[in-house]
Structure 1
């Protein structure tokens, strides 16, 4: 009965409701704990306040993980939207708590190993879950496919242009040469393997043994029984070591188990039902919109025109002249329909700004609510408290979208009508707005007749600035949890963050804001992040993983490319305008600036990338809070840059250290498994992790790839891997020395967050040694007073 797929799907749906109930009760309890009492007692202990915020953070993180699973299991579109709203709210709350903890601890990295025991959690519970619906957005996937098609089309054009016309004889001769070369390579490889196999065979001359058949059979049995016993002993030893937890071993499975197959079928069926319900829901929405357009379209247009005409009259009575109609870039007539307080209206009247009239917040708002069918504010509040308010809010949003569609048509008519009113009543000629005499080169170039989005994308692809991100997940950035961080802090030793902490921080600051549009509308987040660290710690991999997790487009900017592609001051300015404009259209987008320190370098190099500094800061200011555009800079020598303008551009700085022992051990295990190696008792991974202290993940990956070549993989059955095989490859690499590590720490101490942390540590030391210091100051003051009296 349990193996029935239909029953499994029903059971999964019922379990989602149970998870939703459990998450809902946990969320209510967390909110009750967070709401302060009637007379809250202020905490003077910063550590206690940090502990309270950390506990809330961990609780919300658990709720977020469970709700994300509920969202993936639900099939009803309305319920999925309700859960999505809660998930967006939890994401914002997590970022708020993270910001508060950063201010309290004066550090981006926090250590919760002491709290995990109290809350009965595991290090896996600290991982920031990446919502799977980030990549299931159909519109986003469709845009990605279009961009991939554009890239493929461009590559195809390049290949077609490089084809040369040749005769039939020349083509036959070219094919013959290629086939003969292929056969020669195959024969050479065969002879090489044959020679190597002959060298390994011991050459013995055959001599008659002089044994009878019984003695020969006993000799063969002796050899065979010895081989079987040694094999069984080795297997039993390995099983015992695995049971004791001394070694790990990969059990190779040729095919997935029936339980895995059933789970895959259930998940695929569930996604199919979700897609079908979503399509049906979208069809209903379109029918509602079409009914509004057909039935209420004329009434809406007339209501809007009457309200705008009334606004013309009221503004002329108040100011003595007709107002200026808002441009389409400013929102058009939609910008007029906003509620204002009487104080704001009074300020607008005194300043002579348009639109100014008292009923801006009353008549127009009521007209909009009457047209949209939402009623007054009190009525809307009562409707929200009833059951099914989500559907009514969706319908109200659809009606508002229809009204915005009508506003575009009405605006053209009312602009012409306002122009005629000014000519007839005021008898004044409308003057064109005078812009700046200095027209930007970038504006002119971007607004060419062929300045369509497709042509701009083709230009960026052609020059290598818009690239295809690699298929890398953030979970593939391997790092182990730090279990001794709190113990080190108790001993007044600042622990080094692990790569697991870096992975969580990147997910929190980059992946979640890029994937949630609702979050950006309500919570301001940093639009620029700097990933700094030695070469090989995985900065480029993190950038690729961010794009892969969110489906974002990747714009790759490098200061060295500017000197070849867009030279001169105008070229750099044009490029930044082009990149930011296309990135704003193709959201979500990631603008990756490699070697970011060269833009702010202290010494002027051969080519001058400093010209990007001012333009980059201006371009960042053009980004709106709701834009899903993120600027990520990577730097392996940040101490070569001027610290003040550098940190002015990059609001968040994530310093990636070298991996610790636990992360190195996990890296060796995962990278060897990925290359197809079997981890047996002969391979001492602990020694490898110990001797690679100071090596980065890039060094370890290079060592694994240099040893595990195809020929070595074929011999793994007969010749297991040993740790000594990796030593020659590691000896040719330069690790991260202590001087370079200290240079990164000194540089980070000069950043704004590092300076605040230094000041906080000084004040803490003064508070701890306040008694002795205070007594010394008092003695000094007494001595100076006595000397003055004498």
Structure 2
């Protein structure tokens, strides 16, 4: 599509965003008293509307080429994503569950269930493509150095005599000759069968021919799409580089030509402020700190009375403060009682948002700059020089203002010394004393590897097998269908989490993990999730989800499982060094995922004799300590996987993991999609003879891992070659499936969970298991 089409999509998204923000900023509809159902319906409606806006904004950001438009779209996209996460947290507090079903809202907006799927922004990986490629290349080089050492150890261990070697060679040669003879016999039989058939017989049936044509067309279209996308990305990158180079040149030019004039104007403005304050209050004002904005805070227009109140002498202020403190102590109890009464009267009320100001600022910029802009001026989709000058002039002004503030603070101190030397000396002494006390309190953390580079630490962790290369698994390839009976099943649930579908689980992984890890802006302001525990039976896809998270976000994968770190970094000092290395590299090479398999072993009361050598409780004390240092902006996530979480101490495991998500066995719709995708990916042809519905019904109680194993066992190379004469039948897969162990109903009941609140009264999803 043309660039104008995406401009129209952006314009429509901005219109709907303006309506939505106006509704949110209005106080009346956000208070529904004690009617939590009505409150949830309102928040869920906002969630669905924001989700559609996010989809459109992400599409525009990915397709538009003009670099200045893309900067604003990126700003808006991060704001909408963050607001989406905040609304999801509000729904969690209202309904006390991670999984919610909004069929009534879909019906109101005339949407499909697929419209609820959260899109993963493509910029998360595309903008870091070169970094990820260099990292993979570095991984291969390091692993290539380790392979010769492994081969040498194997050669030293294996020893064989000449006679045994000759016998092995003879056995292999006889087996090869036998295979060749059998292949010749089969080929001759096939030739005779084809010779007997008449030439008029169709070699391939219609279904197989149609499927073959579709596959070839899909492959060619995918290749064309990939080439076009690569060209499109190259154009975007080229224009952004031109913009950066031109911005630096324009900034230097503004500093040389207009820098002195801007500096003089700011100084005159501040001196005029000094004079006005002296005329009004008879005293000089306190100069604003850098954290408060410096002299930029003075520019705000104020009335005469407001300015006079601010400029009252400090002695009067101290007297007033003393009186206020007495009154505040008396009135604290009354305020608490009033606040509690308001909460009881109003019930639930939406918390203030960290992302609504971002959205409103981006929308305001769009209305002022791009809404009524003539696109003929920007026909070639290059940057606008005049718009760039305005932005860079503001940056130069802010940089010069910092320098001027330092000079004017000194000038103000000199003026105050002339007026009253004694007061200024007392103040300076107090300020110096405070600074000294603060300096004593601050302590720097000890860096155990201060003399080493991050690259050397990276190589050490790779050599030790702690930093591993994740498998390339995309979340879209982990097939899962929407729960069409979710609303009805939700009404039947009593006190426990409704059993989610794979589609629901993938949505939660996107919202809680992928979006915050992929965007630094979202991670800083969104609800913080430092750790996640994935719960489910063997073969349900927990490890695949961990690798999918790393693939979708381009994250590093650190394996701190007990089996993997056995014998590495022994002792207490070694353990401290291991945790220091992992978290230092994880923070410096964000985003990062720290994976702990069999997480329940760390929190068992007694360690079995067979597992004492592994020492699974080695990280039990160190892991909570390191989690305290993970703050907003540190895109580091701890992910644990556990097939039997009910064997651990519930209190200790819930303290470590912020969220606990159940990875369910696939339901009928998901099993149907899994059978279809696994058989086709293996090379099997799905014909009307193959009853997938029966397979989906009979495979109830089995995991995706069981389905994969049965498909691989049934579809051998020889069986794939015989598909033309003998199509696939469901009985072949059932025969392989029956030989595997089915997940019992008791195991499912043990994995069911119910929500509870933590010590602070905040709702924590899936925090206690029902045993």
Q: What is the CA distance between 1:711 and its match in structure 2?
A: 2.1
Change beyond 3 A, Cα 1:384–1:84: closer
2:245 pairs with one of 262, 283, 287? 283
The match for 1:621 is 628
The match for 1:194 is 181
Q: Secondary structure at the match of 1:671?
A: helix
The match for 2:73 is 83
The match for 1:254 is 216
1:143 matches 2:131: yes
Q: Secondary structure at the match of 1:613?
A: coil
2:562 pairs with one of 555, 559, 564? 559
The match for 2:485 is 484
Q: Secondary structure at the match of 1:560?
A: coil
Q: Secondary structure at the match of 2:126?
A: coil
Q: Secondary structure at the match of 1:135?
A: helix
Aligned-residue CA RMSD in angstroms?
4.7
Change beyond 3 A, Cα 1:452–1:186: same
The match for 1:517 is 520
Whether the aligned pair in 2 keeps the contact of 1:469 and 1:548 (CA below 8 Å) is yes
Change beyond 3 A, Cα 1:282–1:686: same
Q: Which moved more, 1:392-401 or 1:473-482?
A: 392-401
Q: What is the CA distance between 1:567 and its match in structure 2?
A: 2.1
1:686 matches 2:693: yes
Whether the aligned pair in 1 keeps the contact of 2:472 and 2:551 (CA below 8 Å) is yes
1:715 matches 2:712: no
1:270 pairs with one of 228, 232, 237? 232
Change beyond 3 A, Cα 1:600–1:280: same
Partners of 1:754 and 1:194 lie apart in 2 by 72
Q: Secondary structure at the match of 2:559?
A: strand
CA distances 1:258-283 after superposition (whole Å, capped 9, x unpaired): 87776556544432321221110111
The match for 2:472 is 471
Change beyond 3 A, Cα 1:543–1:759: closer
The match for 1:641 is 648
The match for 2:105 is 115
Q: What is the CA distance between 1:506 and its match in structure 2?
A: 0.3
The match for 1:731 is 738
Partners of 1:503 and 1:74 lie apart in 2 by 28
Q: Which moved more, 1:615-624 or 1:259-268?
A: 259-268
The match for 1:702 is 709
Q: What is the CA distance between 1:115 and its match in structure 2?
A: 2.8
The match for 2:13 is 23
CA distances 1:19-59 after superposition (whole Å, capped 9, x unpaired): 11221222223223434365876353222221221121111
Q: Secondary structure at the match of 1:590?
A: strand
Partners of 1:626 and 1:160 lie apart in 2 by 40
Change beyond 3 A, Cα 1:731–1:298: farther
Matches within 5 A, 1:584-663: 584-605=587-608, 606=612, 607-663=614-670
Whether the aligned pair in 2 keeps the contact of 1:643 and 1:750 (CA below 8 Å) is no
1:106 pairs with one of 82, 96, 106? 96
Whether the aligned pair in 1 keeps the contact of 2:661 and 2:766 (CA below 8 Å) is no
Whether the aligned pair in 1 keeps the contact of 2:32 and 2:39 (CA below 8 Å) is no
Matches within 5 A, 1:392-407: 395=392, 399=396
The match for 1:97 is 87
Q: What is the CA distance between 1:458 and its match in structure 2?
A: 1.0
Q: What is the CA distance between 1:96 and its match in structure 2?
A: 0.9
Q: What is the CA distance between 1:644 and its match in structure 2?
A: 1.5
CA distances 1:477-534 after superposition (whole Å, capped 9, x unpaired): 1111111111233455774210010011101111100111111232232121111111
Change beyond 3 A, Cα 1:384–1:75: closer
Partners of 1:433 and 1:730 lie apart in 2 by 68
Partners of 1:221 and 1:453 lie apart in 2 by 69
Q: What is the CA distance between 1:299 and its match in structure 2?
A: 12
Q: Whose Rg is larger?
A: 1
Q: What is the CA distance between 1:396 and its match in structure 2?
A: 6.7
Partners of 2:172 and 2:255 lie apart in 1 by 70
Q: Secondary structure at the match of 1:531?
A: strand
Whether the aligned pair in 1 keeps the contact of 2:501 and 2:664 (CA below 8 Å) is yes
Work out the number of aligned pairs and report it.
626
1:154 pairs with one of 142, 155, 158? 142
Partners of 2:729 and 2:454 lie apart in 1 by 55
Partners of 1:392 and 1:100 lie apart in 2 by 42
Partners of 2:601 and 2:115 lie apart in 1 by 39
Matches within 5 A, 1:309-348: none
Partners of 1:382 and 1:472 lie apart in 2 by 40
Change beyond 3 A, Cα 1:97–1:724: same
Q: Secondary structure at the match of 2:637?
A: strand
Partners of 1:51 and 1:687 lie apart in 2 by 38
2:749 pairs with one of 718, 723, 742? 742
Partners of 2:710 and 2:693 lie apart in 1 by 16
Matches within 5 A, 1:172-187: none
1:575 pairs with one of 575, 578, 581? 578
Partners of 2:538 and 2:724 lie apart in 1 by 35
2:547 pairs with one of 522, 544, 562? 544
Change beyond 3 A, Cα 1:85–1:392: farther
CA distances 1:661-680 after superposition (whole Å, capped 9, x unpaired): 11111100011111111100
Q: What is the CA distance between 1:642 and its match in structure 2?
A: 1.5
> Any gaps of 5 or more consecutive residues in structure 2?
153-163, 267-288, 299-309, 319-362, 371-385, 408-427
Partners of 1:118 and 1:154 lie apart in 2 by 56
> Any gaps of 5 or more consecutive residues in structure 1?
1-10, 165-176, 207-219, 243-247, 305-332, 351-380, 411-421, 761-790
TM-score for the superposition, normalised by structure 1: 0.69
2:51 pairs with one of 52, 61, 65? 61
1:71 matches 2:61: yes
Whether the aligned pair in 2 keeps the contact of 1:50 and 1:101 (CA below 8 Å) is yes
Higher relative contact order (CA 8 A, sep 6+): 2
1:496 pairs with one of 495, 499, 504? 499
Q: Secondary structure at the match of 2:567?
A: helix
Partners of 2:401 and 2:130 lie apart in 1 by 25
Partners of 1:483 and 1:666 lie apart in 2 by 14
The match for 1:307 is none
The match for 2:26 is 36
Q: What is the CA distance between 1:77 and its match in structure 2?
A: 0.8
Q: What is the CA distance between 1:577 and its match in structure 2?
A: 1.5
Q: What is the CA distance between 1:85 and its match in structure 2?
A: 1.1
Partners of 1:142 and 1:259 lie apart in 2 by 25
